[in-house]
Amino acid sequence: AQIRKLKKNNLGLVFEDKQEDVVEQSKTQVPVLKEIIKNRLSLDEAYPNNLMIEGDNYLALSVLNYTHKKNIDLIYIDPPYNTGAKNWKYNNDYVDKDDEYRHSKWLSFMRHRLNLAKDLLKDEGFFVCAIDHNELFTLGILLDKIFGEENRLGVVTVVHQARGRWMDKNFSASTEFMLVYSKNKGVNIRNVVIDELKKEQFNLEDEKGFYYLKDYIVVQGGGGGVTRKDKPTFWYPIYVKKDLSNVSLEEKKGYEKVLPITKSGRELTWITIAETFIERYKQGEVVIKREDGQIVIYRKFREQQIIPTHWIDPKYNATSHGTLLLEKILGKNIFEYPKSLYLLIDILKLTAGPDATVLDFFAGSGTTGHAVLELNKEDGGNRKFILCTNNENNNGSGSGGIAESVCYPRIKAVING
């Protein structure tokens, strides 16, 4: 029997040795985009110019490397999960669960596209990939090799179906995953709030953004705090002018002395040393009020949130805010397993600023494009999207191809309100 030669790299990944047809084709032929004028959707010149590409995503990425190299702020993809179902082709053949080379074929398929995709990202750009357990471990090694382990920002677990899948044996899958990378070390996700309840807490706004007022005294939950004895350098008097218009660290006529003492008489500390307090006051980060005849000193706590790696909010439910939402828009269920719209919106909030360009080259039903439009409407942003999907029939129902029957009409419906 013929023994197949397998290429290995230093991480132990095994790639398909036969090049993908579309990769070989691109070595001798240059792919080009042809505009379909009848499908152009225009609202106003003030709106951003979005792009939808129908075709093989390897060819699309090759073209974009001529037109958009280092111009993409965020790449989000939801690739085929390689479950063994007939939903993914390699060299025009479906790859089923009995193919002993299915993992290496999938890795080769992904590696070629990811190498092209990385070159499209800005130096401060982000890459986010959705995946389930079938290729989670192999994908993680591949992405660490392409983007660098030091640039892996996190592996997020998303509860997309809390009840689990009834057909699963042993453990019922209720989660999927997102692997999040930055293009370069030192680039962090945006400091914004995605939890709606927490967001309500930031009820004040100035030219720098949203904030709420927090006591300048170090007071912890349950009535605790840092005492004067614990940190004596954080215990000092602040002198506040009686009309609250100025402060001083030295005693002055017409100024009142304020110490970090609670209403119950506990001697605690300020959250900073004296010099830092003055700096923050000059920067407009300190607010002084008179409450019940007493002077109270606050700091502006800026809009921020610690983002956990478990996303359990019901808004991420893929049935309620993915499948049923798509049915509401298109009138029928013609796409399997679309992501929750709100999952994509929150990813955008963390990784795509108001003028970002977002690429999804496994666009499927177009959830990423829909999320870009919704977030722009919510915060007045000017984000643009580039979607790429093929026009194959995704579920064999005879309802038409993904691009023409799902992705394009969905985006058209959203644009038209």
What stretch of H or E contains 362? none
Both structure tokens of 74: 């965020």
- pLDDT for position 220: 62
CA distance 366 to 72: 18
CA distance 149 to 179: 11
pLDDT tens digits, residue range 248-298?
Answer: 999 999 999 999 998 888 899 999 999 999 999 999 999 999 999 999 999
The whole-number average pLDDT for the span 160-178 is: 83
Q: What is the percent of the chain where pLDDT is above 90? A: 63
- Is the pLDDT confidence value at 396 over 70? no
pLDDT tens digits, residue range 197-241?
Answer: 888 888 999 998 889 999 999 876 444 568 899 899 999 999 999
- pLDDT for position 398: 46
- Is the pLDDT confidence value at 416 over 90? no
- Is the pLDDT confidence value at 4 over 90? no
Residues forming beta bridges with residue 297, ordered by sequence position: 288
Give the confidence band of 151 by pLDDT, cuts at 50, 70, 90.
very high
Q: Return left, alpha or beta for 143; rule: phi > 0 is left, psi -120 to 50 is alpha, else beta.
A: alpha
Give the confidence band of 8 by pLDDT, cuts at 50, 70, 90.
low
Both structure tokens of 95: 């790859």
- pLDDT for position 7: 55
- pLDDT for position 197: 80
Nearest to 280 by CA among 234, 306, 247, 245: 247
- pLDDT for position 224: 56
CB atoms within 10 A of CB 363: 28
- pLDDT for position 96: 82
The whole-number average pLDDT for the span 57-62 is: 95
- No. of H helices and E strands in the chain? 11, 19
CA distance 101 to 289: 69
- pLDDT for position 46: 61
Give the chain's mean pLDDT: 88
Q: What is the percent of the chain where pLDDT is above 70? A: 91
Indicate the angle between helix axes 408-415 and 367-379, nearest 10 degrees. Answer: 10
CB atoms within 10 A of CB 368: 30
- pLDDT for position 1: 43
- pLDDT for position 47: 64
Residues forming beta bridges with residue 211, ordered by sequence position: 204, 302
**DSSP symbols for 277-345:** HHHHHHTT-EEEEEETTEEEEEEEEES-----SEE--GGG-TIIIIIHHHHHHHSS--SSSPPPHHHHH
Measured at the CA of 153, the angle between CA 152 and CA 158, to 5 degrees, comes to: 110
Give the confidence band of 378 by pLDDT, cuts at 50, 70, 90.
very high
Indicate the angle between helix axes 57-67 and 102-120, nearest 10 degrees. Answer: 20
Nearest to 366 by CA among 113, 38, 41, 35: 41
Q: Is 93 helix (H, G, I), strand (E, B) or coil?
A: strand
- For residues 224 and 341, the model is more confident at 341
